[in-house]
Structure 1
């Protein structure tokens, strides 16, 4: 088995599947998952790749249940998939937009969500930080849900679900409006509610979610925003045909009635964004503002942006802000 195997598309996809899995996977299950992604491989062929991964120390057997990536395997997956990751973030979010079914007219359907993990002992402080953002109206949705029973939540931790703003893209698409998520950015809001972007990162040229970068780099002042009325929050920007403006205004207005939040003037085309003769930009606050406020207060919060979809009622039906 030669080192060239490490550049093969099938090898990379097996690495990706193992990296995404929260449980051991055997050759049969890996073969099934590969088929779901368009790769037809027999169990024996999968074993060929697994043998190489074992020899390199990238995988470890877990009894008869299958294999998990080792620490070396996790490092290999990050190295091997870095180029593959360019475009992966936006592709994942676009899939969620397509899968969401929320209808702002009826208030029914599914919305995309983010899943944050916090230590059990930190939960009161973290939820207090989330509540500050929700009360001030700077989350994408002014509610969140505390989750305790989910296989993705490790021992000693609690999960918190917040609405993901890619839900807006799903709403617009289902109205027949072509939508393209373009940027994540830092948005400065003053005491009068006026807003302008300080920085933008394009979703289509990055291997990590830009919102994570802004939070981890300490480039927000969300706590100052929610307590003093002026500060720097996070928002993302999508583009639609300018001819669809009236329908977009209708959609955003309906979503505001359901508790969703947008920057000044409903987030439509009124910012210091690149001008385009035929495209209209729409900005929406993100659920990561809740996370950012908690991080600014010193809490450790690990968040998967675009973790899945859930019924809208499940989020808005939580007690209080939760």
Structure 2
């Protein structure tokens, strides 16, 4: 996106954009445009200015509806977006290409920043079973709901999930007509619980862990959350690095897990927090310690390993179902999943 957002209206009434030297104001404007494009890329249905304003606010950009309309007008003229009646905007093929190209350096660390924000807002108390948890949203065609539900159940029953329940919804503005939504508890909820207990926790890696005879052997692949522009576990799913269905059926294969790091001195607190969460239906940890399951050794920290709720999604994808996923979609009351 190389043009500068300076709009003028000529005598003929046409809107024109003129170039100027790169300034801090332009950089901020460009970032806002890129965020709008990213949001549209995540939505198959048209998105209006009001909803875009809300979503931009969640990402740290406070814009009025009128300001959003200004940026959308610019993006229309650039050919990155197109207006669909009064319903809102869709991303064009050119816009998709621009989104994937632009500001790669700015996107490094975006995933972990978003998850850390969810962790801070997750105030779930495992002692009372009340409070907010982080969640993921998967949107699927209505005719695939039963199949996806079966794939989710298979993972939960085999013990390779983070939480023992999920919910199916169809009344949400993010869910298009003819689709249904699956809500799963995001493992970032654990970070929120530990933080509230006074334990500094670091989401370190997402990885593929090998299973044999129902027991974890070790990680075969790890990606650090702080050095990537995309969600590591989503990448492993789409690249075919998992065999979740096979693992559920044969107790041998590869599934997804996350690695968190906590101070060694906090081990007892972490064990207590894990115990309380298991009583609420959570299924972890897989292991805890220094250098366990091929994790990097840290002289001051230990690794806390948990199977990911993404295994539910991964199993459905392996079976050929069509899911559009929003990882770390927000926070909601834990009671919704009871």
TM-score, length of structure 2 as denominator length: 0.83
Residue in 1 aligned with 2:250? 228
**For residues 305 and 65 of structure 1, do their structure 2 counterparts lie closer, same or farther at Cα, with a shift above 3 Å needed?**
closer
How far has the Cα of 1:235 moved from its partner? Answer: 0.6
The 1:123/1:54 distance shift into structure 2, 3 A limit, reads closer
Query: Are positions 1:287 and 2:287 aligned together?
Result: no
Aligned: 1:73 with 2:95:
yes
Task: Give the alignment of 1:303-314 within 5 angstroms.
Answer: 303-314=325-336
**Contact 1:5/1:11 (8 A) holds in 2:** no
Q: Which runs of 5+ in 1 are unaligned?
A: 318-322
Equivalences for 1:201-216 in 2 at 5 Å? 201-216=223-238
Residues 264, 302 of structure 2: 8 Å contact kept: yes
For residues 42-79 of structure 1, the C-alpha deviation after alignment (integer angstroms, 9 at most, x for no partner) is 968983x5554333122334567875544423332332
d(CA) in 2 for partners of 1:42, 1:153: 22
2:154 aligns with one of 132, 142, 152: 132
| 1:302 and 2:324 are equivalent in the alignment | yes
The answer to whether structure 1 residue 37 and structure 2 residue 60 are counterparts is yes
Partner Cα separation in structure 2 for residue 295 and residue 31 of structure 1: 30
Q: Any gaps of 5 or more consecutive residues in structure 2?
A: 1-17
CA distance 1:225–1:45, change in 2 (3 Å) = closer
Shift in Å at residue 276 of structure 1?
1.0
**Could you tell me the TM-score, scaled by structure 1's length?**
0.87
Q: Relative contact order (C-alpha < 8 Å, sep 6+): which is higher?
A: 1
**Is residue 285–residue 304 contact of structure 2 (8 Å, CA) maintained in 1?**
no
How far 1:162 moved relative to its partner?
0.7
Residues 108 and 57 of structure 1: CA distance in aligned 2, closer, same or farther (over 3 Å): same
Number of aligned pairs?
313
- The answer as to whether partners of 2:37 and 2:95 remain within 8 angstroms in 1 is no
Matched-pair contact (CA < 8 Å) for 1:10–1:39 = no
- SS across alignment from 1:105: coil
The DSSP-based 3-state class of the residue aligned with 1:170 is helix
Partner SS state of residue 113, structure 1: strand
Distance 1:60 1:171, change over 3 A: same
Which residue of 2 is the match for residue 2 of structure 1?
19
1:25 aligns to 2:43 (yes or no): no
